Structure 1
Amino acid sequence: MKLTDMQKLYSLEGLTAAVTGGATGLGLAITKCLAAAGARVAVISRDLSGNASEILAELDGKVSFYPFDITETQKSQEIADIIRADLGPCSILVNNAGNHCKKYIWDMSAEEYRKVLDVHLTGAFALTKAFLPQMRENSFGRILFLASMTSYIGQPQVCGYATAKAGILGLVHTLAAETASFGVTVNAIAPGWIDTPMFRQATSQDPARLQKILGRIPAGQIGSPMDVGHCAAFLCSRAAGYINGACIPVDGGALIGF
């Protein structure tokens, strides 16, 4: 295979991607990497926080912002149609939007639990259903979910989040089986401990916790948001066409550490 052909396999040039929660944290890193690979990116988010608007504006016109609350599932098809009209058929969907409710189960209400599932699972399901016909129409698509270490291991005070992230694995497996014949792959990334504002807030005043985390990671260091973005760009490329129904940990080896 010629070098130019290899480069095309990793390029997202000419493709439209939608990224939920794509204006902050890991989502912003994914947005940057998809745009750098050539994709037109529709960032779906309830709001632009911090300096996200300035960062997105720097991405050379490759990024458009669409205010939307993914829990409003009755409007999922509407936002998918708007993005198609603006940017063309969507070939890539990254389900990254999420929320947390850090409480022990005895302190968490059923409503709080349900709200976490509504974002991570129900909202992602509805958007996937809305965008999937565009991918089937073109016989090509990449659907990506953000799983978590809590998809595999138990952590206290995140029962809603852990339920949702474990559920994502079941959704990925089923969708991969259902959509493969249409040229669509469905995968997930399970980020480990990544250097985000949320992580720094959780560990800055708790050095013992930080050392415990580092002791579990064979790489001996916390990951960068761009580590997740790079993996996402690869899984969304044609080069990853035979990877389907998988969840790839981006964790420095934390899942196999001790």
Structure 2
Amino acid sequence: MTTLESPFRLDGKVALITGGGSGLGLAMARCFVASGAKVLIAGKTEAKLRSAVSELGEGASYHVADITSQGAARDLVSTCVERYGGLDILVNNAGNHVKKPLLETEVGDIQAILDTHVLAAFELSRNAVPVMNARGGGSILFIASMASYLSVPQVIGYTVAKSAVLGLVRGIAAEISLEGIRINGIAPGWIETPMTAKALDNDPERKNKIISRTPMKTMGTPEDIGWAATYLVSDAAAFVNGHVLVVDGGALSGF
């Protein structure tokens, strides 16, 4: 039940965040821990995860996992249950992309991106639902993108995958909402993260072009996404379901 005193708090909640060692995943972990949650971050690089947990403190732990590998989803959910007694919040944040012109992009490139953004996220969600049901409900959050809504040159696989994320949000929400589990997403705009830096290839001209087309004339910070995520998984958003929140400084609004 939502309370007027602390609807944005996550006290007593257990969260699993994939891709939690850096960028948006780490920012969401910071915000969740600051709001009272216990957080398990997952990723493939142990050094990043260890450093992140050292920063996050006692409210967090990590588990090394390739979420596209067989059995990884089941193992991650089981790890949450073993360490913290359950799972209330799942954030499907892990991502990858391949930057190539269309004629150089192969089916394998797109498959690798779909495996991470779509299939692994689906499998994690499917494994999380019974555990959330046992605790009376929960929240699953997907990370979409501006690429879910508009075309981005040379990243066709990423665009396809992020478009599919919108379908996951709607499809899962339509099926399991009566079970007390809310399904939502966030579509970040241009945020200052390592993935953004890689996408821009240290190209200041392109970065300036992006900023000029954003009404707020700046890129966002990872914490902009972290606090938006905190809202969506908290009781403050108790009646928000099947929705993707665009956090982009107005870039998609038209100007």
The TM tier, using the shorter chain, reads: over 0.9
Distance 1:169 1:204, change over 3 A: closer
Q: 2:132 aligned to 110, 135, 151, which one?
A: 135
Distance 1:180 1:198 in 2: 32
- Counterparts of 1:224 and 1:48, CA distance in 2: 24
Matched with 1:206 is 203
How many matched pairs?
254
TM-score normalised per structure 1: 0.93
CA, structure 1 residues 18+217, in 2 after alignment: closer, same or farther (shift >3 Å)?
Answer: same
**Residue number in structure 1 paired with 2:3:** 5
1:42 aligns with 2:40: yes
- After superposition, the Cα gap between the structure-2 partners of 1:230 and 1:82, relative to the gap in structure 1 and judged at 3 Å, is same
Compared CA separation, residues 203 and 81, structure 1 to 2 (3 A): closer
- Which of 149, 156, 168 aligns to 1:159? It is 156
Which residue number in structure 2 is paired with residue 192 of structure 1?
A: 189
- Structure 1's 162 and 49: CA in aligned 2 closer, same or farther, altered over 3 A? farther
Q: Is the 8 A contact 1:73 1:127 kept in 2?
A: no
What is the aligned counterpart of 1:98 among 95, 108, 125?
95
Task: Flag as ranges the 4+ runs of structure 1 deviating above 6 A.
Answer: none
- What code does the residue aligned with 2:17 have? V
Q: Give a deviation string over 1:24-47, Cα, whole Å, max 9, x none.
A: 111110111111111000101111
Identity of aligned pairs, percent? 41
Per-residue Cα deviation, 1:60-84 (whole angstroms, up to 9, x for no partner): 3111101111101433213211220
What does 1:30-109 align with in structure 2 at a 5 Å threshold?
30-49=28-47, 53-109=50-106
Q: Which runs of 5+ in 1 are unaligned?
A: none
For 2:38 and 2:3, the matched residues in 1 are separated by 21
Q: Which residue is 1:20 aligned to?
A: 18
Residue deviations 1:3-54, cap 9 Å, x none? Answer: x93233211001100000011111110111111111000101111455x533
Secondary structure class of the residue paired with 2:245: strand
Q: Provide the TM-score with structure 2 as the length reference.
A: 0.94
Query: Are the counterparts in 2 of residues 189 and 232 from structure 1 also a CA contact under 8 Å?
Result: yes
Give the equivalent residue in structure 2 for 1:125. 122
Runs of 5+ consecutive residues of structure 2 not aligned to the other structure: none
